[in-house]
Amino acid sequence: MTTAMGAALRRIQLGNALSAFGNGFTVPFLFIYVAQVRGLGAGTAGTVLALFAVAALLVLPFTGRVIDQRGPVPVAVTGTVLAALGALGIALSAGVAATFASAAVFGAGIAVIQPALATMIVWCSTTATRSRAFATQFFLNNLGLGVGGLLGGLVVDPGRPSSFLLLFMIESAMYVLLGVIVATVRLPDGPRVERLGRVGVGAEDGGPARGGWRTMLSDRAMVTLCVLGFVTFFACYGQFESGLSAYAVEASRISPATLGVALAANTAVIVVAQFVVLKVVERRRRSRVIAVVGLIWTVAWLAAGTSGLVAERHALAVAAIISTYALFGLGEAMLSPTVAPLVADLAPPRMVGQYNSAFALVKQLALAVGPAVGGPMGATLHVPYIVMLVLCSLGITALALLLGRRLTAAQDSPLRAAPDASPEIAAAA
């Protein structure tokens, strides 16, 4: 990796961390602000959260092609403008219609930013350094969200609406800052995506992206990875603030305050373990790493089920729930240097944006379906809920092993296929 690429990547990571910091100020308090402080009711607040996903689903099918045609920088800057305006609109909107419109704008902005930043990271990294780059992004995201949420909790006061306005204005300002940083990044002339023995895709290296969705759907490895991604996000992120929390409260009789401790344990494991885990997994076969994550999450869901069985023994139930969130954090730390780089390495060089956007679309679908299915089941159908998620976790393992058979050796383990990459990794560390 050149000095210029390293400098550009550091600026991207800085901007990403600042936006996560700003987002952390509002994420834990958005529902309360809309429902109680603005007095619009729980139904309106729930619709606002749903609109984030709906807006993402509407814009993501078109985002990738624009990224590949125009470059990721203008798309990322557009996303930051939309996110900043949306956050400010949510803060200032008094009526339902204006709040819904602001939520849609905000959701569209966030959705656009994600694949654009991922594509920028791909452009500023190589096969040898990409896992570390995405692991760093995930680490900074969680650190920023954690610190932002902690500081936001110290500032916010339900009796003072102005304190919520301050949080949203900070978030809006962070997205503006992200836009300024991204706009000043000097990217290389094109994506640094090596061929890695690609088979079965229609776009030639270095040529224009032809076929779009048709090309991706003909890529059996990418289709398998998307199915795997849906199950993964459904079984983890899609349950954090819906099914799992409902199960913990209703079946395990855990207090909301204890859930906050469990979420903190999740973040702590990610922050502490991320780079230790990176050293362990970056030379392993990616498909095998993902398969192990499925097994870890199977244990996590069994621990959650156990907490419901020992609800009368409160200390054991609490320990089991905290262990569940901690095990999820370990799995997330293993996935961050594995899945996103694999999406990039599967993509033809002129379709990196489309592949990133397609995977982001799959993630949004899982995040929309996960709470809708998991929330009611976690609150009422306790045993079927745990059984479903255990089967999903085992499904992750099975799909990962299937994916491994559809990858070339270089795609599955690029550093083992290129042993001379070690000096480059050391230079990037």
Range in 173-187, 190-204, 359-373 the model is least confident about: 190-204
Show the tokens assigned to 250.
Answer: 């209703």
Q: Tell me what the mean pLDDT of segment 299-312 comes to.
A: 93
Measure the CA–CA gap between 251 and 317, rounded to whole angstroms: 10
293 or 130, higher pLDDT: 293
Measure the CA–CA gap between 224 and 390, rounded to whole angstroms: 20
Q: What was the pLDDT predicted at 208?
A: 44
Q: What was the pLDDT predicted at 429?
A: 41
> Confidence band (pLDDT; 50, 70, 90) for 197?
very low
Q: Tell me what the mean pLDDT of segment 282-292 comes to.
A: 92
Percent of the chain at pLDDT exceeding 90: 34
Q: What was the pLDDT predicted at 207?
A: 43
Is 80 exceeded by the pLDDT of residue 425? no
Q: What was the pLDDT predicted at 418?
A: 57
DSSP codes joined into one string, 59-99: HHHHHHHHHHHH-HHHHHHHHHHHHHHHHHHHHH--SHHHH
3 state SS of 140: helix
DSSP codes joined into one string, 368-403: HHHHHHHHHHHHH-HHHHHHHHHHHHHHHHHHHHHH
Q: What was the pLDDT predicted at 123?
A: 86
Q: What was the pLDDT predicted at 27?
A: 75
Measure the CA–CA gap between 18 and 117, rounded to whole angstroms: 13
User: Which tens digits make up the pLDDT trace of 393-412?
Assistant: 999 999 999 999 999 888 88
Q: What was the pLDDT predicted at 175?
A: 93
Q: Tell me what the mean pLDDT of segment 347-351 comes to.
A: 84
> Confidence band (pLDDT; 50, 70, 90) for 206?
very low
Range in 84-88, 168-172, 259-263 the model is least confident about: 259-263
> Confidence band (pLDDT; 50, 70, 90) for 373?
confident
Q: Which of 38-47, 192-201, 262-271 has the highest mean pLDDT?
A: 262-271
Range in 66-75, 191-200, 210-219 the model is least confident about: 191-200
User: Which tens digits make up the pLDDT trace of 52-94?
Assistant: 888 988 998 888 889 988 889 999 999 999 999 999 999 888 8
Q: What was the pLDDT predicted at 420?
A: 47
Q: What was the pLDDT predicted at 203?
A: 43
Mean pLDDT, the chain, whole residue set: 84
Helices (H), 127-255: 130-155, 161-183, 213-217, 220-235, 237-240, 243-250
Q: Tell me what the mean pLDDT of segment 156-181 comes to.
A: 87
Asked if 142 and 58 count as a contact pair (C-beta separation under 8 A), the reply is no
